[in-house]
């Protein structure tokens, strides 16, 4: 192999490394109970006032602690988000372990992706009361439903795993390792969200625990 060939091979290897999958995991075992975690911004769309996101002790959580949304305001049109600030990406996925704890109106666990702010993002959410898992586009605080899976049993007080993957205009939702739907977004108006941050979501009076977040950015 000539020096030119070696240089080309090294260049190609470096290129592959720089465009490879980038992954990170966010956990809460080192955060202080009673306080919000670092690196998150919290927001509200709708009515009913802001949420209360705090670290709580939870012996069933990995590391013994979880991020919890504790406010129980029952306003139906109340969407609360915790957006992870350090990472912005277009294509990739976010996974969390979530435990619905209580809620009279809703018992929801949600993931958001390509979030511009608390009013604009894509969301996959499970609901233990309704036994369904849905995908929405949220634009200026208004939801447009893209897909639903009905009859999905998610027991109160039990952990389940939720994943939302974005690849161009296709979105895949996975619960406990099972793919529930893959959907192409054809909503209007355009432009649709092309990149943004990822985070967590709950609705109304949902008290929910989250014990980790895995974020994978794709080339």
Contact 40, 197 (CB under 8 A): no
- In 90-177, which ranges are E strands? 92-102, 108-117, 120-127, 132-139, 142-150, 160-167, 170-175
Token readout for 11 is 């260049």
pLDDT tens for residues 31-61? 999 999 999 999 999 999 999 999 999 999 9
What are the sequence ranges of the domains in the chain?
21-217
Single pTM value for the model? 0.89
How far apart are alpha carbons 96 and 210 in whole angstroms? 7
- pLDDT in 10s for each residue of the chain, 219 residues: 554 343 434 343 333 333 457 999 999 999 999 999 999 999 999 999 999 999 999 999 999 999 999 999 999 999 999 999 999 999 999 999 999 999 999 999 999 999 999 999 999 999 999 999 999 999 999 999 999 999 999 999 999 999 999 999 999 999 999 999 999 999 988 889 999 999 999 999 999 999 999 999 998
Does domain 21-217 fall under CATH 1.20.1250.20? My reply is no
Q: How far apart are the first and last CA of the chain?
A: 30
């Amino acid at each position: 192999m000539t020096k030119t060939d070696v240089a080309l091979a090294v260049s190609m290897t470096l290129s592959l490394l720089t465009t490879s999958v980038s992954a990170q995991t966010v956990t809460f075992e080192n955060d202080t109970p009673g306080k919000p975690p670092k690196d998150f911004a919290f927001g509200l769309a709708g009515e009913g006032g802001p949420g209360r996101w705090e670290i709580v002790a939870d012996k069933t959580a990995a590391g013994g602690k979880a991020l919890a949304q504790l406010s129980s305001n029952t306003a139906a049109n109340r969407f609360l988000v915790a957006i992870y600030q350090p990472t912005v990406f277009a294509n990739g996925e976010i996974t969390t372990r979530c435990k619905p704890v209580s809620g009279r109106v809703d018992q929801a666990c949600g993931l958001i992706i390509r979030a511009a702010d608390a009013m604009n993002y894509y969301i996959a959410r499970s609901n233990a009361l309704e036994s369904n898992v849905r995908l929405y586009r949220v634009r200026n605080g208004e939801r447009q439903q893209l897909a639903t899976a009905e009859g999905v049993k998610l027991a109160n007080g039990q952990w389940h795993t939720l994943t939302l993957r974005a690849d161009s205009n296709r979105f895949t939702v996975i619960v406990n390792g099972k793919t529930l739907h893959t959907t192409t977004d054809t909503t209007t108006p355009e432009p649709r969200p092309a990149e943004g941050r990822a985070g967590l979501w709950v609705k109304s009076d949902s008290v929910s625990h989250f014990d980790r977040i895995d974020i994978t950015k794709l080339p």
